[in-house]
Structure 1
Amino acid sequence: MATPKNPPAGPPTPLGLPPGLSPDNLDTLTELSSLLSRLRAPPAPPSASAAPGATPAAAVATSAPTPSTHHDPANTISIQSLPMATDVLKHKLQRSRAATKTLPDMGRGTADQEAEVAELEARIARQRAVLEGLRSKGLDFAAARGQAGDKMEE
């Protein structure tokens, strides 16, 4: 099955991600879990503790069930075909990695980010000081108005 070189253009993501990069592109655990659940365990060799005269099939039947016993046997994959089955996942990761590199500010270092955080924290502190000043002036105004209103009512 050939995958398209350019992913289909879908609706714009709410995070403003570049085309070809969406949360679905970054979710590899779901696909990896699906592959691993389809993985068929290699056939178990007959155990040495099998009863004398027992057939190897009987020894295998008494062993622990393989993880694929509850799945459709036609949908299982063997260990030998696992690299080929993971090609889709590898290509998905390669496309996501390339798309991630196109995001803005990916080249910024830690020092640049720490400087920006310090600037933003200083800005927040200034805004809090202004809000606290406005709050105190508002309380002073309300208190003065309350006293003035009491005098007028007398």
Structure 2
Amino acid sequence: MFGQLTAARPGEVMESTPRHWMSWSSMTTGRGPLQVDRLVDVATRTLAAVLLRPSAKAVDAALLLARTTTPELMRPGWPDALGMSCSVLPNASLLSLDERLAKAAAVPVIVPEVVVSDHGKVFISDTFRNASRSLGDLLPARASRYPD
């Protein structure tokens, strides 16, 4: 049941893992905990989405899934070389499918088929479960000895 999953293509298996750090931040009042939630594509080892918050909520975890499936727009001040139009990938054929790609950054868009989730509070919430099941399947990871 808790064997090793292998993935041969992007999006086949993605892992969600939170990390907790103590840090000085302008997001908190001085020194306080920061939580980094991330989705990692197992096949390519790509960080598909990362979210940094003082404390994460269930909607933040669902936002991770949304960030993996939508193209990121170029931001003011970014050089044109970071745009999808300068990528070596064949993006011209994709412009007819989604016009947002004309102003998109060259960031991978990965649709997860299976999301492996640890037992963090935000990843076992109904909000995250419903969001991940709308895209594919949700599998629990082996329970850790170290709670959140």
What band does the TM-score fall into relative to the shorter chain? Answer: under 0.3
Q: Which has the higher helix share?
A: 1
Higher strand share: 2
Question: Which of these two proteins has the greater Rg computed from alpha carbons?
Answer: 1
**TM-score, L = length of structure 2:** 0.25
TM-score of the superposition, structure 1-length normalised? 0.25
